[in-house]
Amino acid sequence: MPYVSKKKLQAMSEGQKSQLDIESLLLASRSSFSIGGVNNSYTTYESQVREAYKKYNSEAEWGNQQFKSVADIRISFIAGEGVSVAAKNQTFIKWLNNFVKKNKAFGSMFFNSVIGAELTGKCLFTLRTVPGEYPQIVRVPYSPDQPYEVVLSDFWDPSSVVDVVIKKGGKTESLGLPNFIYIRTGGDDIDINRTTAKCGAILNDAENYDRAVKDIRRLNHVLARITPIFQTKDEAETNKLANFLKKWKWKIGQTFVGTAKMTYETVGTGAHQNLKDELSTTIKNIASVTGVPVHWVGWTDLMSNRSTADSLYDTIGTATVRERTLFSEGIYDLIVKAQELYIDSGGTDINKVYTDFEVKIPVIDFSKFLETVRALSIAYNDDVISRSDYQNMIPGIDPLATEKALKAEQKEEEKKLVKMADLTGSGKQNNQNIPEEE
């Protein structure tokens, strides 16, 4: 009985279509079947968040360095010069200083919140209360393994968030957070829970950039070698030269004497140029989505002139203005909510909720710092902005602490002037008793 070979074949449904790359009449393969980066690998919000965390922590296979560098630049711009609060009421200022100091609200907690928001497009704070004590701020991170969702009381009102829930065993359970502030920095105007961040849209481009870099390394490893070429007259000379080189174990760098013409050859740069073109195209895609200037991630040769390079500082500032505005609004609501809870729990440092204050996250190009201060000074002298507005727009200044320090300095100056006036007056009296010289 003859031997029969049996193999399992994957059958295709009748009429099913599939794009093929045909190399010959016998060989064919599906188009893009094994080419990484051709298709979008992250088409859901959950997959984008999970991969964003992996790349930011250098745990992904591709695109770790590129993604983290771009994300960190955006994070630094969203955080700006830190949170700045301007207010006039001294009772509120004292309460706020104690509240911020207790929670480190505008320090590490704020910057960690910005990192989370940049990777997930959302941020969740909750306030814990202790009778008579300042409320404690707790940031609830978004976990891809145990994601939370917010619930609206009115589907048409995105601000009507009433609860935060998670799913366990196929059932929806409330987290039991009665006092929370939800800040949504990503997504669109429809789904309040699917908050795709800008960095979630560059995952494939970051991978393709990394692939192109590694392809250059692979090409150099295989082809970037200096190869000696010997040009002989005929086959007899070729065989004679080959035997000579083999016998004497000739190596590059040793002297060679013979009739054959010798040259050194290297591979062309066409393949490398193709990869460089891919790198520049990919980084432009990343820059267009995130607002990060291309020359900030190493591509200074793409800047045609200095004015273009300088104007891109404003580009990244504009690309992050939405996130800064939403964080400012969220922190304002957080401070108002904290006052309510503090009073309800029996706190005595304030007896009412203060709403007359302003929260800003200033960002400034220090190369234009003098121009900015001049503009603010003109606006202040023309009574267009207030003193608090002036202080709140200058980075590195805490308006509350600055105003307190200025008032202290003003009192000190007044004391000095009074003292000098007293000394001057007593000096005149003494001079009247001194006889004039003849």
Q: What is the DSSP string of 123-186?
A: EEEEEE--TTSPPEEEE-PPPSSS-EEEEESSTT-TT-EEEEEEEETTEEEE---SSEEEEE-S
Residues 378-427 pLDDT 10s: 887 877 777 777 777 776 666 667 777 777 777 777 777 777 766 666 54
Name the band, by pLDDT with cuts 50, 70 and 90, for residue 189. confident
CA–CA distances in Å: residue 233 to residues 188, 240, 391, 413: 73, 11, 85, 99
Percent of the chain with pLDDT over 90: 40
- Do 205 and 270 lie in a common domain? yes
pLDDT at position 265 is 74
Tens digit of pLDDT for each residue in 139-186?
A: 999 998 899 999 999 888 888 899 999 988 888 999 999 899 999 999
Q: What is the pLDDT of residues 344-355, one digit of tens each?
A: 999 999 999 999
**Does 300 or 90 have the greater pLDDT score?**
90
Q: What is the dihedral of CA 156, 162, 166, 167, to 10 degrees?
A: -60
pLDDT value of residue 397: 67
- The whole domain housing 89 covers 45-197+325-343
Q: Do 161 and 186 lie in a common domain?
A: yes
Same domain (yes/no): 49, 178: yes
Size (the chain), residues: 438
pLDDT computed for residue 13 by the predictor: 46
**Do 187 and 334 share a domain, yes or no?**
yes
Q: Are residues 248 and 104 in the same domain?
A: no
Q: Is the domain of 106 the same as that of 53? A: yes
Does residue 50 have a pLDDT over 90?
yes
Rg (CA), the chain: 35
- Please enumerate in sequence order all residues whose Cβ is within 8 A of that of 19, keeping only pairs 6 or more positions apart, or say none: 30, 31, 32
Secondary structure (3-state) at 36: coil
Residue 35: count of CB within 10 angstroms of its CB: 10
Q: Write down the mean pLDDT value for the chain.
A: 81
pLDDT digits (tens, 9 = 90+) for 54-73: 999 999 999 999 999 999 99
Nearest Cα to Cα of residue 294 among 56, 116, 70? 70
pLDDT of 398 = 66
223 and 90 in a single domain? The answer is: no
- Domain for residue 8, yes or no? no
Which range has the top average pLDDT, 86-90, 199-203, 248-252, 411-415? 199-203
pLDDT of residue 307: 53
Provide the total of helices (H) and of strands (E) in the chain, helices listed first: 12, 12
Q: Are 137 and 266 in the same domain?
A: no
Of the candidates 135, 147, 217, which has an alpha carbon nearest to the alpha carbon of residue 181? 135
Residue 32 has pLDDT above 60, yes or no: no
* Whether 282 and 297 share a structural domain: yes
Higher pLDDT residue, 113 or 81?
A: 113
Q: Above pLDDT 70, what percent of the chain?
A: 81
Note whether 190 and 64 are same-domain residues. yes
Please check whether residue 29 lies inside any domain of the structure. no
Helix axes 64-79, 270-290, angle to 10 degrees: 30
Task: Look at residue 354 in the predicted model and tell me its pLDDT.
Answer: 96
What pLDDT is recorded for position 424?
66
Determine the pLDDT at residue 431: 46
> Across residues 286-301, what is the average pLDDT?
81
pLDDT at 311: 65
For residue range 106-146, what is the model confidence (pLDDT) as tens digits? 888 899 999 999 999 999 999 999 898 999 999 999 998 89
DSSP H/E element including 263: strand 261-265
Calpha distance 47→45 (Å, rounded) = 6
The answer to whether position 117 is within a domain reads: yes
Model confidence at 12, in pLDDT bands (50, 70, 90)?
A: very low
302 compared with 3, residue with greater pLDDT: 302
Q: Name the 3-class secondary structure at 261.
A: strand
> Which tokens hold the place of 62?
């591709």
| Tens-digit pLDDT profile for residues 316-341 | 888 899 999 999 999 999 999 999 99
- pLDDT at site 315: 80
Q: Are residues 172 and 142 in the same domain?
A: yes
Q: Give domain status of residue 297, yes or no.
A: yes
pLDDT greater than 70 at residue 22: no
- DSSP bridge partners of 85: 359
More confident: 426 or 268: 268
pLDDT for res 432: 46
- Number of domains comprising the chain: 3
Assigned domain for 371 exists: yes
What is the Cβ-side half-sphere exposure of residue 391, based on CA atoms within 13 angstroms? 22
Q: Is residue 24 part of a domain?
A: no
Whether residue 59 is found in the same domain as residue 185: yes
Quick check: 62 and 365 in contact, CB under 8 A? no
